[in-house]
Structure 1
Amino acid sequence: MTDTSVSRSAPWSDRLWSSVLDGDERAAVDSVLDALDAGLEPQSVLLDVIAATQRRVGEEWAADRLTVAQEHAATAINERAVAALSAHPACRPGPGSRGRITVACVDGEWHALPARLLAEVLRLDGWRVDFLGAQVPSAHLVTHLHRTGPDAVALSGSLPTRLPTAHAAVIACQSASVPVLAGGAAFGTDGRYAKRLRADAWAPDARAAVNLLAAALPKPGPAHQAVDALPHLSDHEYTMIASARSKLVQDTMAGMADRFPPMREYTELQRRHTAEDIAHIVDHLACALYVDDDRLFTDFLAWTAGILTSRRVPAHSLVLALETIGLQLHDFPRACGFVRTARESVARTVSSPSS
């Protein structure tokens, strides 16, 4: 994105943001259509106005300036704006001369707007696009590939906890001789997890995806990767911790009640939210074990500490939670190492003068 496109799109992005904050769907649609009529390129309206506004929604939710309900409403309004834009005469797709591509979210991934934006940008670039939406099971995705024979699959994931199912989808697509372009926050800001799961390519954003696909992705060979392509999984730590998730959460809640006295006065709602937070910690630990990268776990804990701080919840409770989880994992050396690294990182963060 150039400085010129940023400056040209900024007023329209601000206008869309105001409409989203007001919950005014009609005004939001008018703002993106007016931007198009004023001469802003369709791709820029999609990426520099709508996508930029959606990023701002996420930032405001994380800072506790938007409720969950407001975040959901804002996303729905932005989705409506994309639909209105795609129906505009200036955004009519070409004949699909570049080829055919399937765009889908991995199984369990409900954040479909990034994938929808990519689908619209690819249509503008001349692709015939099959957009399958959120949460596409790998078996159904492969059935679609066999029926339609696309040139590539663009696989989207926003949450790192979806990486094991993303890996299954990558293997399934490649087994059908269809190359996979991975994208979304789940795969890391530098695409490290797309590489670890051996996707054929990774794009940091929609513009980069367009450029990569224009150059064509290589067709995967008949034995592109085996199901056991991640040899570290042979220690079974991922499988055993993922299967013991419920017990880990339950035992951690019990241990936290002894180590963190304020929990004893929690309401039922507070206890439920705490259990959900612990479950997220266990899920991210399991996925870090899956890709064998403690940064996935540490980055999640740093993000969580920021969320708790913005909501005026003592972030030090994370250290206690990690200590309690670690006590239960003495038979899992890799998991213990990940928990220890994350605990030390969080402890440094919450004890720093700026925290």
Structure 2
Amino acid sequence: MSNNRAALLHTRKSKMIGLSAGAVFLLMLATASVLLGAHTYTFGDLWMSYKHFDGSNEHLILRTTRVPRVLVAAAVGACLAVAGAVMQVLTRNPLASPSIFGINAGASLFIVIGLVLYGSALSMNAMIWIAFAGALFVSICVYAMAMRGSWFEPIKLTLAGAAMGALASSITSGLILINKQSLDTALFWMIGSVTGRKLDHLLSVAPYMAIGLGLALLLAGSFNIMVLGEDSARSLGQRVTLVRLLSSLAVVLLAGSSVAAAGPIAFVGLIVPHLCRSLIGHDHRWLLPCCALSGAVLLVAADLAARFVLMPKEVPVGIATAMLGVPFLIHAARRKEHG
């Protein structure tokens, strides 16, 4: 018994050390992302931009562009990764990601509707709230469709999400063709990017991100039981329907706010949970914090790398994550097939 307890404590200590090291690495990566790019700055420039702001171009770029951009990337990456981990529990599908709710398609549809109605008069703050409303609306529709009947079935959620996503994407394409003036703005937003995002944009959705993360962490113990199967979870006293409702709410808040802040960035919610499971195991009490940290690292790193591909032009981070995600999806699908 004492040997088992010692092994457990050693495992917890190792995981804590790993998470701490990841946090330090994220801080270093974020600092590099603030200082490097088409224009390179020093620690002294960053320090002076906050301690003795003089209105120079260097200080303006650091305070109003680089720092908010890194914070948005870290927050969005963390939320998408946790949402993906929760979705994989909710649907019992290891290839699930937040887009299964139709969140990306719903947000994009509402953005295009807003652009068609208001055109260039539509501000970024307004686009964020419109995108969040679209993500929330389509997610509620998908979940309502999946709940038809007396029982909730993960396959219904998958089919409903695919159907609503296809419908929203079709309407979006039709609106863009009808109103070509909205094409450039819509396409730039739909690719997914943290370029040009301000701190106000993050603060607008931060409460929803915090609630979603908190809710997911509170349900972590329940997720460990849910993976055993519905019948086993009920026999162990788990309130399955309530857990699914709350976990669905967490996904909507996390993915909806992320899409609203940075557009539909794909594959983060697919890649990160798989990598974290291989590193830290299947205990969601450790897995979810690891996903949040790793998701932030992935998106900050992808955004930093995307700056140097076509310098001085920048590649949207959504393209960078897609280039990583497509090979990973093929590899994961092949492993699942042969497994």
Q: When the two structures are superposed, what TM-score results if normalisation uses the length of structure 1? A: 0.28
Q: Structure with the greater relative contact order (CA < 8 A, sep ≥ 6): 1 or 2?
A: 2
Tell me which structure has the larger Cα radius of gyration: 1
Higher strand share: 1
TM-score (norm 2): 0.29
